[in-house]
Structure 1
Amino acid sequence: MTAPGALPPASADRQTRMGRWRDQLIAYGWLVLAWNLFWGEFTWGNLVGGLLVAAVVLLFFPLPPVTFHGRLRPWGLLVFGGRFVVELVRASAHIARIAVQPGYTPRSAIIAVRLRLPTDLNLALTAEVLSLVPGTLIVEVDRDAGILYVHVLDVRGPADLDAHRAQVREVERRIVEAVGSNAELRRVRTGPVDKESP
């Protein structure tokens, strides 16, 4: 007998299989998108190449199971995409200015930022987005503590370090607003921020 309100074993098994297929499909889509972003342009050749590479990666190097409990929010995705393009252009212009500024040697730093949602998916998405922006690079990820170690360029003082930490948490918030669950969204908007990240 099954408990009241519980799914029959066959139905639960089918739901689990569908969840796995959905997660694989989402991972496939992200890999294709990342491939095109790495090439720097969206062309038919890059799209086909991304589809093939993503299929090979998922077939021969299967990713660990990462359950997606969120939901896609069109407005959040639109805001995330728009802000990402703006930050990409602004960071590229900043790096270009540093490169041509005579006699200026920028200082860099490695900062630790504890994310509000230390899930594998959130860590991976936030790290991926940050790595695509010129001037920032993920050095290490502390999966257990939910901390990203980020290399940042052109740091002039403690205020810049705080600004970079705030920028990382802003990226995390926009990602959750685009693909997070309602509970994750509440947590990222109201959860405490550890200002004393190591």
Structure 2
Amino acid sequence: MSGIGGTVRRAGSRLVMVVWLFAVWLLLWGRADALIAAGGAVAVAAVSVLTRTPATPSIRRVRPLWFAAAVLEFAWDLLVSSLVIGWHALYRPRRVRGAIVEVDARTRSELILLAVTTSISLRPGTLLVDPDWDRHVLHIHAMPVRSQREADGARNGVLRTEERLMRALVTAEDTESTREDR
């Protein structure tokens, strides 16, 4: 019975991903009419047939207060990074230095890693360069970085983002890895 339940759960999870891809298609076009919807259905069907559409990662629990705090902290980070990059762009454009910073993620959840990489890539001054999903290592380009201290600060900023998201979203992978660490 668990085999059938697991199969149904996986199929439902993949269906969620297909619906998500279709929604993204519509958002990219910015409008929805019959031709765009039909094209999206064909594109999503082709992606589903030609690739192994991943299952939607499972979230065991969302902690609303921690999630709200994570959203507010992201908004604050967005504001501060925008001001820093704007200041450097206007007053010191030739002196801005960047660096590739390696970050060892603590999470084992692909969902949390995806949320972290999306969050840091949305902020001015940071960009995901090379994720190593198997080793849970992220390589990011950060600016301004003129010293080891600033590189460490960029790394710590990514780790703080990861920590916020791990507090807000409880995933099966992180729950299992926490149990294994004990």
What range is the shorter-chain TM-score in? 0.7 to 0.9
Gaps of 5+ in 2: none
Contact 2:66/2:167 (8 A) holds in 1:
yes
CA positional deviation for 1:75 = 1.4
Query: Secondary structure at the residue paired with 1:113?
Result: strand
Summarize the alignment of residues 76-155 of structure 1 with structure 2, pairs less than 5 Å apart. Answer: 76-102=66-92, 104-155=94-145
Structure 2 CA distance for partners of 1:72 and 1:136, relative to 1, 3 Å: same
The corresponding residue for 1:157 is 147
Name the aligned partner's letter for residue 18 of structure 1. Answer: R
Alignment TM-score, normalising by the size of structure 1? 0.68
CA positional deviation for 1:18 = 3.2
Query: Secondary structure at the residue paired with 2:99?
Result: strand
Query: Whose helix proportion is higher, 1 or 2?
Result: 2
The corresponding residue for 1:61 is 47
Alignment TM-score, normalising by the size of structure 2? 0.74
Query: Secondary structure at the residue paired with 2:101?
Result: strand
Contact 1:114/1:148 (8 A) holds in 2:
yes
CA positional deviation for 1:102 = 4.6
CA positional deviation for 1:183 = 7.3
CA positional deviation for 1:130 = 0.9
CA distance in 2, matches of 1:76, 1:23: 28
CA RMSD of aligned residues (A): 3.6
CA positional deviation for 1:46 = 4.8
CA distance in 1, matches of 2:106, 2:6: 29
Contact 1:176/1:185 (8 A) holds in 2:
no
CA positional deviation for 1:66 = 4.8
The corresponding residue for 1:21 is 12
Gaps of 5+ in 1: 1-7, 40-44, 192-198
Contact 2:17/2:56 (8 A) holds in 1:
no
Percent sequence identity is 22
Contact 2:102/2:137 (8 A) holds in 1:
yes
- The count of residues paired between Structure 1 and Structure 2 equals 172
The corresponding residue for 1:169 is 159
CA positional deviation for 1:118 = 3.4
